[in-house]
Amino acid sequence: MHRSTLLAACAALLAAAPLAAQGTAQGATLPASSTKGFFIGIHSGGSSISADDLSDDTEAGGGGGIQIGYGFTPQLALFVEGTGAVLDTDDGDIALGHADIGVRYAFTSPTRRWVPHLEAAVSGRGLAQDDAVLDGGGIGDVSMGGVGFTFGGGVQYYAAPQWAIGAALKWTTGEFSEGEIDDVKVEDLDIDATSLRLNLGVTWYPMIGR
């Protein structure tokens, strides 16, 4: 009786061994990271801007934003991103916003958890301040905007295949070409400006494994 029970147990173990080996092999092929497919990220960080025609100082402040994109291959992805910040200046708070449409190249592989990347984008950029002190001594609501180009890079660490913690540094150059003072439009400003953004955030890749 005991002998037949032992033989049955051995037979069950031998039958289960190929299934266990198959499960282990499948687990070994699961990627540590993947940049392919839809992704969405949120971030916080700091922004700064310098424009000689506006101020002798570089103004900086904190904010956050969101990025949505799609990886067509493990390396190449398209994305749109919006980032806003509030600059703390001697003349009061100034809102600074960036809107990017860009492409990302990731230096990735299925076994790599640390994934660096480079980015390039066309960017819309705007400044706005309520109750700003005007050159003539009055007070008014002022805003200005323009188009520029953004270059940057960063790195993501994949804590899980679908979740990455990342940091990115972006540099934007261009000019403010139009503005508005108390609903009065101003054109042909031609104010050159350079801005920097440091973003820290998390990105979700929901299509991994599908």
Predicted confidence band of residue 209 (pLDDT cuts 50, 70, 90): low
- Is 172 within a domain? yes
Higher pLDDT, 2 or 146: 146
- Is 93 within a domain? yes
Q: What is the mean pLDDT of the chain?
A: 84
Alpha-carbon distance of 113 to 73, in angstroms, equals 17
- Is 17 within a domain? no
DSSP, res 138: -
- Is 100 within a domain? yes
Number of domains in the chain: 1
Residue 67 has what pLDDT? 97
Query: pLDDT tens digits for 45-63?
Result: 999 999 887 777 888 999 9
Query: pLDDT tens digits for 102-113?
Result: 999 999 888 889
Residue 22 has what pLDDT? 43
- Is 145 within a domain? yes
Query: pLDDT tens digits for 147-181?
Result: 999 999 999 999 988 999 999 999 999 999 998 88
Higher pLDDT, 182 or 202: 202
- Is 9 within a domain? no
Higher pLDDT, 97 or 35: 97
With a cut of 70, say whether residue 200 has pLDDT above it.
yes
For residue 55, the enclosing domain spans 31-204
Answer positive or negative: Cα dihedral of 159, 69, 30, 117.
negative
Q: What is the CATH number of the domain that holds 170?
A: 2.40.160.20
Q: Does pTM top 0.85 for this prediction?
A: no
- Is 23 within a domain? no
The string of DSSP letters for 26-80 reads: HHHHS-S----EEEEEEEEEEEEEE-TTT-SSPEEEEEEEEEEEEESSSSEEEEE
- Is 20 within a domain? no
